[in-house]
Amino acid sequence: MRRRVKQRQQQSDFWIPHTELPRTVGHPFYERLHQLLEERRFDEFVEGQCVRFYAETMGRPSLTPGRYFRLLLIGYFEGMNGERGIAWRAADSLALPRFLELELSEQPPDHSTISRHGG
């Protein structure tokens, strides 16, 4: 009696580099706003304006001024006046991480992070 030898099937790779993942088209409004802010070097401008407010012992806050103001713009344009709503919207959207200049592995800021930078 001959035994059949089962051939093992090769399992395909589970890991996909983030550079190979498709990017969403994004929201046309935020795509255009992002382009305008980039062209006018918005992040560098607000960084320069805010540097005098950094505490000497702590340095620059973990949330950059550019990202903070972009979060506030989301709240303004979408009629949200609370940090929790802005944080929820940023976390729920597929289009906003690019506008916020988040890496694929980064989570949008938590509402408490947004609150600490506003006061």
Calculate the CA 46 to chain-centre distance: 18
Domain presence at residue 88: yes
Domain presence at residue 2: no
CA distances from 116 to 38, 40, 58, 62 (A): 25, 27, 14, 10
Q: Containing domain of residue 110, as a range? A: 26-118
pLDDT digits (tens, 9 = 90+) for 5-43: 666 666 666 666 656 655 555 678 988 999 999 999 999
CA distances from 32 to 38, 95, 101 (A): 10, 12, 14
**Joined tokens for residue 61:** 């806050």
d(C-alpha 50, C-alpha 73), whole Å: 17
Tell me, what's the pLDDT at 79?
94
- pTM of the model as a whole: 0.66
Domain presence at residue 66: yes
Cβ atoms of residues 111 and 80 within 8 Å: no
Domain presence at residue 1: no
Domain presence at residue 12: no
Domain presence at residue 99: yes
| Domains identified in the chain, total number | 1
